[in-house]
Amino acid sequence: MFSCAPPLSRLSGSAWLARAEPGGPRRGGRPPDCAAMFVEPGAGHVNAPAPASPFSVTFRSARRGIQSSLVEPRFFCDAMLGGLARWLRAAGYDAAFEQGIDDAVLVARAGESGRVLLSSDGGIFERTPVREGRVRSLFVPRALGLSGELRFVLGAFSLPLLPPRCMTCGGALRELTKDEARAEAPPKTLSRVETFYRCEGCGKLLWRGSHWERIARVLAEAEVAARVR
């Protein structure tokens, strides 16, 4: 999607969009059977308590299609969904992820920050704050693949594509002119790219790289597929 400027001390081009790899092997644990928001992979339905502000969510059976209304939800992906976090950022959503985070810490941080917890680990949904609905959460079925996981989450919340975020840290991107990027952009890139972006989180200088069309196509296909779930 984008490429980034290397540090000034190392002007060698590098693709910003790294391979969105899963955050590790799927762990064990049965599918959740709790009152918190989740999708049962076998039953195909969403069960959700009345959510607290700022969300307003309405669901019906996934067999008939899911209806929901949220105000740009923020997510916290568990240790096995690092790739999904990066793709959600590409789709324009704030998705936190910490490699190797302890389950108890993950649940606590999701609750404290008001983020929707995304997990493929059934054990997460047995924890009291999740089971009682105090931490909003969604079970992401295993074996979907990254594009399938993205379609699943977009469909569960009826989410449209938004302007992309930094896939490295999730920060918002601010558009820059060529003159503003001149001091950092590699000369060859500066000669062929007109618009640059600054990540307001990590400060990286970004621009649309050669693989933009492929990534944009995956995102567009995921959005269309999510609408017809």
39, β-bridge pairs: 46
> Taking all residues of the chain, what is their mean pLDDT, rounded to a whole number?
75
Q: Does residue 33 surpass a pLDDT of 70? A: no
| Confidence (pLDDT) at 189 | 92
Give the pLDDT score at 15: 25
User: Which ranges constitute the DSSP H helices of the chain?
Assistant: 82-90, 103-113, 128-131, 145-156, 178-181, 187-192, 212-227
What is the pLDDT at residue 3? 65
Q: Phi and psi of 79, rounded to 5°? A: -65, -15
CA dist., res. 69 & res. 57, Å (int): 5
pLDDT in tens, 145-196: 999 999 999 999 999 999 999 999 999 999 999 999 999 999 999 999 999 9
DSSP state of 159: P
Residue ranges of domains in the chain, CATH in brackets: 38-156 (3.40.50)
Q: How far apart are CA 196 and CA 219, in angstroms?
A: 21
With bands split at pLDDT 50, 70 and 90, how would you rate the model's confidence at 4? low
Place 38 in a pLDDT band, splitting at 50, 70 and 90: very low
pTM to 2 decimal places? 0.72
Q: What is the pLDDT of residue 41?
A: 31
Burial 189-198 (b: 16+ CB within 10 A, else e): bbeebeebbb
